[in-house]
Amino acid sequence: MDINSQNVEQIVRQVLQEMSGISAPAASKAAAGPIPAKSRAAMLTALEKYEIKEFPIPELGDDDILVKVEGCGVCGTDAHEFKRDPFSLIPVVLGHEGTGEIVKMGKNVKIDSAGKPLNIGDKVVTCMIFADDPNITMFDLNKQNVGKGAQVYGLIPDDEIHLNGWFADYIVIRGGSTVFNVSDLSLDERILIEPCAVLIHAVERAKTTGILRFNSRVVVQGCGPIGLICIAILRTMGIENIVAVDGEEKRLTFAKEMGATGTVNFKDHKGIEALADAVKDEFGGYLADFAFQCTGSPVAHANIYKFIRQGGGLCELGFFINGGDATINPHFDICSKEITTVGSWVYTLRDYATTFDFLKRAKGIGLPMHKLITHKYPLSEINEAHITNLKMEGLKIAIINE
């Protein structure tokens, strides 16, 4: 709706009220500035090929929200789609680590999924779309997760709306979606919410074992963005004995900035026994009480059991897609050591709400979360952004709109 038509509608409503006392239907709430008729979107049209296309911005339904995108992180899932399309989504508008500003809302939209008021100009993020149960609330705890009757913006098959992912100038948030008002967080913090929620969920899963405690010795294997965020969350919980394992010195150095007390470069050790001894040495002669496996490598999964003490625990969260089989010895690796293992898969609504407080706490104790975003590209350079991501030249790559 343009400004002229909006003024006409206001005049009509006023005239009707004066003539008959009957109110005209409530209009959509829209920003004071003009909203364009079309939006750019980066559509993945073939393997390793994004094309910038323009699509009409549709009329909003009474429960819908139009968001002007400010930025979106490039996830490992986006990299998988860019390289191989394992979810068979092409053509698709990707981007699920996004955030932006509300510029228009349907008349029924008043609060977010946590009950916080929503207004034009508020900064928001989305979590999940519950197609099977649109009435679910965040207080259903861990009963719903991605892939269990829920979808995520940026991983939705293309349809007549097209503006279904955050790699765009605008995104249409449909009724039945979950949305959170995060106006009190910076743009960089908002871009990190989705990956941080993955780790909040993993740590909550780990806590169910009863093994992860303040004085636990914890090893984190894999120091990409996921592993580094894991370290930061553990540090905000008060866990101070954390050893990071990776093959890149730059990442291991950053792991210490995020709260790790020791590091091990697996490239410096030949064989799993030598590697396990190196981890043990970093813990002062002890194996880990608990381990987080944050890589997508089956070899890494097989190795991590050797880092864990008898009666210890493990959280495996590194495999979002099928990365292949891992070879372990059930007797030596699990049974005789009585290791308690939990798997972690994405997040729930409750984890999103917890994530907002984590980011504030991390900032409060001086953890450099903003340094996770090492590269920023405009939407027009999205192919270059994904190539940089695949080359592992940085940590978190982000698309920032002009």
Half-sphere exposure of 334 (CA within 13 A, CB side): 10
- Does residue 180 sit in the same domain as residue 200? no
CATH number at residue 127: 3.90.180.10
Predicted local distance difference test score (pLDDT) of residue 148: 54
Query: How high is the mean pLDDT of the chain?
Result: 89
Residue 318 belongs to some domain of the structure? yes
Phi, psi at 270, each rounded to 5°: -100, 115
Q: Which of 342, 298, 300 is nearest to 324 (CA)?
A: 298
Predicted local distance difference test score (pLDDT) of residue 363: 96
Enclosing domain of residue 390: 25-184+368-400
Looking at per-residue confidence, does 4 or 357 come out higher?
A: 357
- Does residue 143 sit in the same domain as residue 258? no
Residue 377 belongs to some domain of the structure? yes
Residue 17 belongs to some domain of the structure? no
- Does residue 261 sit in the same domain as residue 379? no
- Does residue 227 sit in the same domain as residue 178? no
Helices (H) and strands (E) in the chain, counts: 10, 17
Predicted local distance difference test score (pLDDT) of residue 67: 98
- Does residue 112 sit in the same domain as residue 231? no
CA distance 318 to 174: 31
- Which amino acid makes up residue 219? V
- Does residue 138 sit in the same domain as residue 221? no
What is the band of 211 on the pLDDT scale with cuts at 50, 70, 90?
A: very high
Cα–Cα distances in angstroms (integers) from residue 239 to residues 127, 196, 256, 277, 279, in the given order: 28, 17, 13, 22, 17
Indicate the SS3 state at residue 400: strand
Question: What is the distance in angstroms between the CA of the first residue and the CA of the last residue of the chain?
Answer: 23
How many structural domains is the chain composed of? 2
What is the band of 32 on the pLDDT scale with cuts at 50, 70, 90?
A: low
| pLDDT greater than 50 at residue 6 | no
- Does residue 243 sit in the same domain as residue 322? yes
Cα–Cα distances in angstroms (integers) from residue 262 to residues 179, 184, 218, 270, 282, in the given order: 38, 34, 10, 19, 6
CATH number at residue 298: 3.40.50.720
Question: Strand 177-181 and strand 123-129: pairing?
Answer: antiparallel
For the residues of 237-261, what is the DSSP string, one character each? TT--EEEEEES-HHHHHHHHHTT-S
Residue 306 belongs to some domain of the structure? yes
Residue 359 belongs to some domain of the structure? no
| pLDDT greater than 80 at residue 292 | yes
Averaged pLDDT, 345-368: 93
Predicted local distance difference test score (pLDDT) of residue 129: 80
- Does residue 168 sit in the same domain as residue 208? no
- Does residue 137 sit in the same domain as residue 84? yes
Contact 175, 134 (CB under 8 A): yes
Token pair for 78: 């986006």
CA distance 310 to 318: 23
Residue 308 belongs to some domain of the structure? yes
Residue 3 belongs to some domain of the structure? no
- Does residue 178 sit in the same domain as residue 75? yes
Q: Find how far residue 138's CA is from the centre of its chain.
A: 17
Half-sphere exposure of 68 (CA within 13 A, CB side): 16
- Does residue 235 sit in the same domain as residue 176? no
- Does residue 225 sit in the same domain as residue 339? yes
Residue 353 belongs to some domain of the structure? no
